Amino acid sequence: MSEQGGDSILSVSGGRILQILYKKFMSEQTSRLSELADPSVVYVTDLVSCHHKYHLRKLYPELSISFEPSAVMGNLVHAGVESIIVEYGFKPEFQLEKHIELDGRVYVLKGRVDAFNPETREVLEIKSVKNFQGEPYEHHVHQLNIYLNLLDSPKGYLLYISHDKIFEYTVRPSPIDVEGELASLLRDERHPRYAWECRYCPFRKICPYRRAESGSES
Protein backbone atom coordinates (compact mmCIF):
# COMPACT_ATOMS: atom_id res chain seq x y z
CA MET A 1 0.00 0.00 0.00
CA SER A 2 1.28 3.48 -0.82
CA GLU A 3 0.24 7.10 -0.63
CA GLN A 4 1.10 9.77 -3.14
CA GLY A 5 2.02 13.09 -1.55
CA GLY A 6 3.61 15.54 -3.94
CA ASP A 7 6.67 13.82 -5.32
CA SER A 8 7.08 11.47 -2.36
CA ILE A 9 5.73 7.95 -2.01
CA LEU A 10 5.04 6.35 1.37
CA SER A 11 5.10 2.58 1.44
CA VAL A 12 5.36 -0.19 4.00
CA SER A 13 9.05 -0.77 4.72
CA GLY A 14 10.77 -4.11 4.31
CA GLY A 15 12.15 -3.60 7.83
CA ARG A 16 15.77 -2.65 7.17
CA ILE A 17 16.26 -0.70 10.41
CA LEU A 18 14.03 -3.08 12.31
CA GLN A 19 16.21 -5.97 11.22
CA ILE A 20 19.31 -4.16 12.47
CA LEU A 21 17.72 -3.63 15.88
CA TYR A 22 16.45 -7.20 15.96
CA LYS A 23 19.82 -8.75 15.15
CA LYS A 24 21.60 -6.55 17.68
CA PHE A 25 19.09 -7.20 20.46
CA MET A 26 18.77 -10.93 19.85
CA SER A 27 22.50 -11.57 19.43
CA GLU A 28 23.14 -10.05 22.85
CA GLN A 29 20.61 -12.41 24.39
CA THR A 30 21.56 -15.61 22.56
CA SER A 31 25.26 -15.07 23.34
CA ARG A 32 24.40 -15.47 27.03
CA LEU A 33 22.43 -18.71 26.76
CA SER A 34 25.14 -20.93 28.20
CA GLU A 35 25.69 -18.52 31.07
CA LEU A 36 21.94 -18.33 31.76
CA ALA A 37 21.91 -22.11 32.23
CA ASP A 38 25.09 -22.25 34.31
CA PRO A 39 24.04 -23.14 37.90
CA SER A 40 27.13 -21.42 39.33
CA VAL A 41 26.25 -18.02 37.81
CA VAL A 42 23.87 -15.74 39.70
CA TYR A 43 22.91 -12.22 38.67
CA VAL A 44 22.31 -9.38 41.09
CA THR A 45 18.83 -9.04 39.60
CA ASP A 46 18.14 -12.64 40.71
CA LEU A 47 18.53 -11.54 44.32
CA VAL A 48 15.84 -8.87 44.03
CA SER A 49 13.17 -10.82 42.15
CA CYS A 50 11.23 -14.08 42.33
CA HIS A 51 13.53 -16.89 43.43
CA HIS A 52 11.79 -19.57 41.39
CA LYS A 53 12.37 -17.58 38.22
CA TYR A 54 16.11 -18.13 38.71
CA HIS A 55 15.62 -21.89 39.06
CA LEU A 56 13.36 -22.11 35.99
CA ARG A 57 15.81 -20.08 33.94
CA LYS A 58 18.53 -22.64 34.65
CA LEU A 59 16.27 -25.36 33.23
CA TYR A 60 14.71 -23.42 30.34
CA PRO A 61 17.08 -20.56 29.42
CA GLU A 62 15.63 -20.16 25.91
CA LEU A 63 12.35 -18.92 27.36
CA SER A 64 14.17 -15.82 28.57
CA ILE A 65 14.75 -14.67 25.00
CA SER A 66 12.24 -12.29 23.47
CA PHE A 67 11.99 -9.25 21.22
CA GLU A 68 9.61 -6.84 22.91
CA PRO A 69 9.21 -3.16 21.97
CA SER A 70 9.33 -2.12 25.63
CA ALA A 71 12.68 -3.85 26.13
CA VAL A 72 14.06 -2.34 22.91
CA MET A 73 12.89 1.10 24.02
CA GLY A 74 14.60 0.60 27.38
CA ASN A 75 17.86 -0.33 25.67
CA LEU A 76 17.69 2.73 23.44
CA VAL A 77 17.04 5.01 26.43
CA HIS A 78 20.01 3.48 28.24
CA ALA A 79 22.27 3.90 25.22
CA GLY A 80 21.26 7.54 24.86
CA VAL A 81 21.90 8.49 28.48
CA GLU A 82 25.14 6.51 28.64
CA SER A 83 26.48 8.24 25.52
CA ILE A 84 26.09 11.57 27.33
CA ILE A 85 27.39 10.80 30.81
CA VAL A 86 30.53 9.12 29.47
CA GLU A 87 31.77 12.67 28.90
CA TYR A 88 31.60 13.22 32.67
CA GLY A 89 33.82 10.36 33.80
CA PHE A 90 31.24 7.56 33.91
CA LYS A 91 31.97 4.17 32.38
CA PRO A 92 28.80 2.64 30.89
CA GLU A 93 27.84 -1.02 31.23
CA PHE A 94 30.35 -1.56 34.04
CA GLN A 95 30.76 -5.26 34.79
CA LEU A 96 31.30 -6.57 38.29
CA GLU A 97 31.44 -9.98 39.91
CA LYS A 98 32.02 -11.52 43.31
CA HIS A 99 32.88 -15.13 44.10
CA ILE A 100 30.91 -16.52 47.02
CA GLU A 101 31.37 -19.98 48.57
CA LEU A 102 28.30 -21.68 50.03
CA ASP A 103 28.13 -25.28 51.22
CA GLY A 104 31.42 -26.11 49.54
CA ARG A 105 30.42 -24.69 46.17
CA VAL A 106 31.61 -21.46 44.57
CA TYR A 107 29.04 -19.18 42.94
CA VAL A 108 29.79 -16.18 40.77
CA LEU A 109 27.56 -13.21 41.52
CA LYS A 110 27.48 -11.00 38.44
CA GLY A 111 26.15 -7.53 37.83
CA ARG A 112 26.20 -4.95 35.10
CA VAL A 113 25.95 -1.40 36.39
CA ASP A 114 24.47 1.03 33.89
CA ALA A 115 27.27 3.49 34.65
CA PHE A 116 30.09 3.77 37.19
CA ASN A 117 32.48 6.63 37.88
CA PRO A 118 35.83 5.12 38.98
CA GLU A 119 37.07 8.43 40.37
CA THR A 120 34.09 9.34 42.55
CA ARG A 121 32.81 5.74 42.81
CA GLU A 122 29.29 6.94 42.04
CA VAL A 123 26.86 4.45 40.53
CA LEU A 124 24.03 5.20 38.12
CA GLU A 125 21.06 2.97 37.38
CA ILE A 126 18.72 4.03 34.56
CA LYS A 127 15.12 2.86 34.64
CA SER A 128 12.80 3.45 31.71
CA VAL A 129 9.22 2.93 32.85
CA LYS A 130 5.79 3.13 31.26
CA ASN A 131 4.23 4.92 34.22
CA PHE A 132 5.98 6.30 37.26
CA GLN A 133 4.44 5.61 40.66
CA GLY A 134 5.86 8.71 42.32
CA GLU A 135 8.58 7.05 44.36
CA PRO A 136 11.40 4.59 43.66
CA TYR A 137 10.45 0.95 43.30
CA GLU A 138 11.64 -1.23 46.16
CA HIS A 139 13.46 -3.75 43.96
CA HIS A 140 15.30 -0.96 42.14
CA VAL A 141 16.56 0.49 45.42
CA HIS A 142 17.53 -3.00 46.58
CA GLN A 143 19.43 -3.69 43.36
CA LEU A 144 21.29 -0.39 43.55
CA ASN A 145 22.12 -0.97 47.22
CA ILE A 146 23.73 -4.31 46.34
CA TYR A 147 25.85 -2.57 43.71
CA LEU A 148 26.86 0.12 46.19
CA ASN A 149 27.99 -2.51 48.67
CA LEU A 150 29.87 -4.58 46.10
CA LEU A 151 31.65 -1.51 44.71
CA ASP A 152 32.23 0.16 48.08
CA SER A 153 30.45 3.20 46.70
CA PRO A 154 29.39 6.22 48.82
CA LYS A 155 26.22 6.84 46.81
CA GLY A 156 24.29 6.04 43.69
CA TYR A 157 21.53 7.47 41.55
CA LEU A 158 18.27 6.07 40.27
CA LEU A 159 17.22 7.87 37.11
CA TYR A 160 13.62 7.24 36.07
CA ILE A 161 12.54 8.13 32.56
CA SER A 162 8.96 7.78 31.31
CA HIS A 163 7.15 9.36 28.37
CA ASP A 164 6.24 12.44 30.43
CA LYS A 165 8.50 12.46 33.50
CA ILE A 166 12.16 12.34 34.49
CA PHE A 167 13.08 11.90 38.15
CA GLU A 168 16.37 11.27 39.91
CA TYR A 169 16.88 9.85 43.40
CA THR A 170 20.05 9.59 45.44
CA VAL A 171 20.59 6.31 47.27
CA ARG A 172 23.21 5.80 49.95
CA PRO A 173 24.40 2.31 50.92
CA SER A 174 22.99 0.39 53.83
CA PRO A 175 24.49 -2.86 55.15
CA ILE A 176 23.37 -5.97 53.32
CA ASP A 177 24.06 -9.68 53.75
CA VAL A 178 24.77 -10.71 50.17
CA GLU A 179 25.76 -14.24 51.17
CA GLY A 180 22.52 -14.64 53.11
CA GLU A 181 20.46 -13.38 50.17
CA LEU A 182 22.23 -15.80 47.84
CA ALA A 183 21.53 -18.69 50.22
CA SER A 184 17.85 -17.69 50.33
CA LEU A 185 17.73 -17.63 46.52
CA LEU A 186 19.26 -21.09 46.26
CA ARG A 187 16.70 -22.41 48.75
CA ASP A 188 13.97 -20.94 46.54
CA GLU A 189 12.26 -19.21 49.45
CA ARG A 190 10.36 -16.34 47.81
CA HIS A 191 8.10 -17.00 44.85
CA PRO A 192 7.04 -14.53 43.79
CA ARG A 193 8.59 -11.63 45.66
CA TYR A 194 6.04 -9.12 44.33
CA ALA A 195 2.45 -9.67 43.23
CA TRP A 196 3.03 -8.16 39.77
CA GLU A 197 6.02 -10.36 38.84
CA CYS A 198 3.99 -13.26 37.44
CA ARG A 199 2.32 -10.94 34.97
CA TYR A 200 5.62 -10.19 33.22
CA CYS A 201 7.43 -13.50 33.77
CA PRO A 202 8.40 -15.54 30.68
CA PHE A 203 8.05 -18.73 32.76
CA ARG A 204 4.52 -18.07 34.05
CA LYS A 205 2.94 -20.80 31.91
CA ILE A 206 5.10 -23.52 33.45
CA CYS A 207 5.44 -22.18 36.99
CA PRO A 208 3.66 -23.97 39.87
CA TYR A 209 3.79 -20.79 41.96
CA ARG A 210 2.06 -18.57 39.42
CA ARG A 211 -0.45 -16.22 41.01
CA ALA A 212 -3.45 -14.48 39.56
CA GLU A 213 -2.16 -11.56 37.54
CA SER A 214 -2.67 -8.34 39.44
CA GLY A 215 -0.81 -5.15 40.12
CA SER A 216 1.70 -3.40 37.92
CA GLU A 217 5.37 -2.59 38.15
CA SER A 218 5.25 0.38 35.79
**pLDDT tens per residue, range 47-79:** 999 999 999 999 999 999 999 998 899 999 999
CA distances (Å), 169 to each of 26, 63, 73, 166, in order?
Answer: 31, 33, 22, 10
**pLDDT tens per residue, range 85-106:** 999 999 999 999 999 999 999 9
Q: Are 21 and 72 in contact (CB under 8 A)?
A: yes
Q: What is the pLDDT of residue 132?
A: 79
Q: Which domains does the chain have, with CATH numbers?
A: 33-206 (3.90.320.10)
DSSP per position, 99-165: EEEETTEEEEEEEEEEEEETTTTEEEEEEE-SS--SS--HHHHHHHHHHHHHTT-S-EEEEEE-SS-
Q: What is the pLDDT of residue 215?
A: 52
pTM: 0.89
